[in-house]
């Protein structure tokens, strides 16, 4: 068994990849969470030209990132003050 390690800074995508390769049985002291609070943030969707989206999707694939994450990062960088 693997020692219980904390991965508090994982993104949802990293956690998903991690649990694709691992199982709860591999870790000591893991307990099932029965109740938790989840507050999703509202999202707005915008239209993007299909050729532009294809180029962004290709870039995201080369960077091994989901397209939506890459777009979000770029927009955050551009709007940071």
Domain extents in the chain:
12-79
Return the number of other C-beta atoms located less than 10 Å from residue 8's C-beta: 4
pLDDT of residue 17: 87
Q: Confidence class of residue 77 from pLDDT cuts 50, 70 and 90?
A: very high
What are the pLDDT digits (tens) for 26-66?
Answer: 888 877 788 888 888 888 899 999 999 999 999 999 999 99
The DSSP symbol for 63 reads: T
pLDDT of residue 23: 84
Cα–Cα distance between 30 and 51 in angstroms, integer? 46
């Amino acid at each position: 068994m693997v020692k219980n390690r904390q991965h508090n800074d994982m993104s949802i995508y990293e956690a998903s990849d991690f649990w694709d390769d691992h199982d709860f049985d591999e870790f000591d002291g893991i307990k099932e969470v029965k109740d938790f609070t989840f507050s999703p943030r509202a999202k707005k969707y915008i239209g993007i030209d299909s050729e532009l989206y294809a180029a962004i999707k290709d870039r995201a694939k080369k960077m091994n990132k989901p397209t939506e994450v890459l777009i979000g990062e770029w927009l955050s960088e551009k709007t940071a003050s």
